[in-house]
Amino acid sequence: MSADGDQVRFAGLDKAFAPIGVGCWAWGDKSTWGMGGYDSTLTEATIAEAFEASVEAGVTLFDTAEVYGGGESERIIGRLLASSGVDRDRLVLATKFMPSPWKLGVKGAVRSALEASLDRLGVDRVDLYQIHGPVSLRSHRALADALAAVVHAGLASAVGVSNYSVREMEAIHGELAQRGVALASNQIEYSILRRRPENVGLIAACQRLGVVPLAYSPIAQGRLTGKYTAANPPPGRRNFSSHPMEKIDPVVDELRAIGDRHEGRTPSQVALRWLVQKGAVPIPGAKNAKQARENAGGLGWALTPDEMARIDAVALDGVRTLTSRVWQHG
C-alpha cells in the first residue's frame, strides 16, 4: 500500500484512488438489502444516482462480487459504465471469486469465473480480483497459481483476498511473491463495532506487508448512522456487527458529539474517518445520491488524536458466531 496525500494505490495497480470506496452488495440484492422486496426505495435509478454522485465526489473504487444478487450487481455496474459516460479508466473496479469447497479445479474455476464477471461488467479487465473467503479446500499454492495466472493473462491488474487471518494472508502473500505478483488487499469486516482485525494484529500485518485493508460493513450495516436505535432496529437480514442496539446507542452518541465539533459531521462520516486514519479503506454501501455524498464526507478532514482515543474507548471487539468463525478469519 502506498499513499499519495489522500490517495491510495494497490500493489500492482498504477492508479491512485481516494481512501473510501463503494461496496456494491446491495446493488441487485433482494435477500439482505431488499431490492425488489422490502426496500421499495432501492431501484436501478437510485443506484445510478449513487454511482454518479460518488464519482463526482472523487470516490472511484467500486467493489462487487460474482455472488452479489446472483451476478446482478456486476450487471448493474456494466449498464452504468455503458450509459453514464464516466471514463472507465477513472474507476477502480474490484470483484471477487467465490471459492466454494467443491471447486477443486481452482485454476480453471478462477479463470472461468473472472471471464464471466468481465462479461457481466462489460470490461476486458478488472483492477482488483479477490478470493471472497478462506473456505477453499485447495492450498494457498493452488490459489496463488490461479490468481497469478489471471494477472499474467491481463484479466486483472491486482489481486487480493477477503476474510483472511494474519497467518493465511502471510502464506498467500509469500506464494504470490514467488510468482512475481503482489498481494494487494485483504477485505475484512472492520468498524467501530468490530475492532477485532486491529486487536489481533491484522491491520499491523497489512501495513508491514504493503497490503491494503479494505473495510467492509464500515458503518455496521447502518447501525452507526444514527438512523436506528433500540426502539427502531435495522430491517432485513443484516447479520454483521449485530450487537444489541442498547450497546450501540452510546457509541453513536459519542460519534455524534465528535461530529458536532467538525461542522456537523454525521456519525457515519466520523466512523468512516476513524477507519481512514487507522490505515484502512472503508467501502460503505450507497443506495442513493444522498448516501453517496454522505460517505464522501469522510474525506478531506481529520480527527484529533484525542478524538481517535475517545472512539477507541467506546469501540467493540465484535460479535463471534459460528458463521463468523467459519467465514471471518480476519
> Active-site residue numbers?
68
Q: What is the DSSP string of 83-143?
A: HH---GGG-EEEEEE---TT--SHHHHHHHHHHHHHHHHT-S-EEEEEE--S--SS-HHHH
* Residue whose grid cell is 476474510: 163
- DSSP state at residue 159: E
158, 133 Cβ separation under 8 angstroms: no
List the 7-9 sheet strands across, edge first: 2-4, 7-9, 16-17
Closest CA to 79 of 126, 47, 102: 47
E strand intervals along 51-91: 61-63
In angstroms, the CA 88 to CA 60 distance is 10
In angstroms, the CA 223 to CA 94 distance is 25
- CA triplet 161, 167, 173: central angle to 5 degrees? 50
- Amino acid in position 229: T
Contacts for 253 with CB less than 8 Å, ≥ 6 apart: none
**3-class state of residue 167 by DSSP:** helix
User: Hey, how many other C-beta atoms are within 10 angstroms of the C-beta on 4?
Assistant: 9
Q: H-helix or E-strand containing 186? A: strand 183-189
Q: What are residue 249's DSSP bridge partners?
A: none
- DSSP state at residue 232: B
